[in-house]
A and B are shown apart, each in its own frame.
Chain A
């Protein structure tokens, strides 16, 4: 395990904060993404409303799981949030445009 290098004038990244940050990105951010991205994926197919909602929800479970794991697989906590923001922006935009 490498030691955290001390840089002058810079606080070392404290581990519990990084874990908490990633947990929020994956847990809460993922929860939001899981309800937006599947809608963008399902909307183009032109399914009847009720069926579309079902399809999006079924996908949403998977999106959540992947988003949570991705938040921890990201290179840093900051990158995790950045990825989340990008995905939210793109899928949110797609939903707004499609629906």
Chain B
């Protein structure tokens, strides 16, 4: 793969011009980008899809949290939160209260930043009805998986940013070149020929890609929109000059600071939060606040930010009102809609995150994410099948690149899901009072992945596919049993109680296990040229 020149980009004529038809050239780009970035994009798609369920995974991984209650009116919960913060974080420079709003934020949570800089914020879960703290095991939860989607793990931040940005652009290019290349776009739309080797993998790749094409284009473009501030600095310079503070000026205009003040050092009581929440609700025509952000609590210059729900619609934006803590007067406001272009950016970000989706749209988002994983995995396998057939026809040995990709493909495609299962197992099996258990859960996940990759490197590919499919089947299928043995929130309790988050996770894991088992059986039966 790496040593030989790609034949599709060959054949220069006398003047060095390429008479290759456009489709062939685009196919070359598609293949190269797919091979270079396929595995990384598979990781990003898998963590992105899991990250879409991050709140549900968070809840399963914190079985100490009770089923969510969305207590209304929210003034009571907010008061509980502030009482707690007054008791435990009175010296902090900043308090943050997340009210229990909806599926994305199901619990009352508080966070505070200590006065002296350098220390990280501390957080606590509170019972929304009583205000008591709920003791919860330390875990990264679904959030850790979600953040790996763009931060990866173990790698330096600067390097990761570049790699993720290049991979995201590669995805967009692969999609666009794939569209150019796909000759029989509509005729092949519904075609899936099974057990025909290369044809079957191509059909699977096409079906997965074309059925979700609008989603994939949206996801890749909006993913780049997340990154565009970091990677197009010259655009900022064009309007803001070339000084080193140009970027900061730009951010300052895009997100203007709202009534900022430093602590005066004088202690003064703040108005009751209920008054501010009511005022906000009136201001927003009935829409309720979702979060509070309090700067310099208890100080004469206290500022209370009342924040709306950013996930209420596809446009990822909400109003923010800043009140003076002592008097309760409105000092500054950022409305949900500021300009068409800001709203366009917010729309793209909102569509990418899909937090606004209701009970009907959410499963469709999830399906599209999974099909994205299938799109990439089938592409990687298709490449190896094609190359293997080509090397057989030419009676030449397989290149080292082909051998490596053939061997490592199952280690990535199946090894990563196995690693995720191991992460969930570690959450249940590591001692609750273990130090830094959140970090070790992630270490277990990557450790298991390394083992799978090592096995794949040392074993013939066909065997690796079968064996790892079974490991994945067991890893996921046994999760309900694991849950039964380690907590009291198992299916026997969650189903009768209607706790659909717990039950859904267990049943989902069971279904995944069954799917992997079916896949393994499918691989065991011999087929022509598979």
Contact = CB atoms under 8 A, between A and B. Distances in A.
Contacts of B221: 61
Task: Label chain A's interface by main secondary structure.
Answer: helix
B157 interface: no
B359 interface: no
B17 A95 contact: no
Q: Which of A34, A58, A99 has the most B CB atoms < 10 Å from its CB?
A: A58
Contact of B28 (A47, A68, A72): A72
Contacts, number: 125
A60 interface: yes
A58 B345 contact: yes
Contact of B345 (A3, A38, A49, A54): A54
A52 B239 contact: yes
Contact of A61 (B14, B16, B19, B225): B225
B224 A73 contact: no
A54 B341 contact: yes
Contacts of A69: 26, 29, 173, 176-177, 180
Interface residues of B, number: 47
A77 to B, nearest CB: 7
Nearest to B253: A50
B7 interface: yes
B9 A55 contact: no
A39 B254 contact: no
A35 B235 contact: yes
Contacts of A4: 11-13
Contacts of A90: none
A9 interface: no
Interface string A58-99: 101100110011001101111100000000000000010001
A72 B341 contact: no
A36 interface: yes
A48 B340 CA distance: 11
A5 B11 CA distance: 10
A99 B241 CA distance: 10
A95 B162 CA distance: 27
B459 interface: no
A78 to B, nearest CB: 7
A25 interface: no
A1 B13 CA distance: 10
A43 B28 CA distance: 36
Nearest to B228: A57
A53 interface: yes
Interface string B417-446: 000000000000000000000000000000
Contacts of B341: 47, 51, 54-55, 58
A21 to B, nearest CB: 10
A79 B12 CA distance: 14
Given A49-B239, A60-B235, A76-B16, A68 B254 contact: no
B334 to A, nearest CB: 13
Contacts of B236: 53
B190 interface: no
Contacts of B16: 13, 18, 76-78
Q: Which 10 A-B pairs have the closest CB atoms?
A: A35-B234, A13-B16, A51-B341, A50-B253, A15-B5, A57-B228, A39-B238, A54-B341, A13-B12, A76-B17
5 contacts: A12-B12, A19-B6, A51-B339, A61-B221, A69-B29
Interface of B: 5-7, 9-19, 22, 25-26, 28-29, 169, 172-173, 176-177, 180, 221, 224-225, 228-229, 232-236, 238-240, 250, 253-254, 339-342, 344-345
